[in-house]
Amino acid sequence: MKETKKKKDKKWIQGAEIKEGAFTKKAKRKGITSAQLQENVLADPDKYDEKTVKQARLRQTLVGLHKKKKSKKESN
């Protein structure tokens, strides 16, 4: 029996259903930045709904990708 490995999709974000600005809007309603809301949510995920936790994780991933991409450009 052969196991097929799932090919890692490098363009996964294009397929994601994202409501742009929703996480930032939540942060502004609380009077904080989206980075601060992300830290609060990830520090205590039980305090927030599942959607907000997913948004915080997605923001963390995207910020990390952006920093990685930016550092590659600066090193070239």
Cα distance between residue 15 and residue 12, in whole Å: 6
pLDDT at 36: 97
Other C-beta atoms within 10 Å of 69: how many?
A: 10
Please give the model's pTM, rounded to 2 decimal places.
0.72
Ranges of H-type helices in the chain: 12-15, 22-30, 34-43, 50-75
Note the pLDDT tens digit of each residue in 19-68. Answer: 889 999 999 999 999 999 999 999 999 999 999 999 999 999 889 888 77
pLDDT reported for residue 34? 95
CA gap 30, 73 in Å, rounded: 35
pLDDT at 5: 55
pLDDT at residue 9 above 80?
Answer: no
Q: With 0-12 CB in 10 A as exposed, 13-18 as middle and 19+ as buried, what is 38?
A: buried
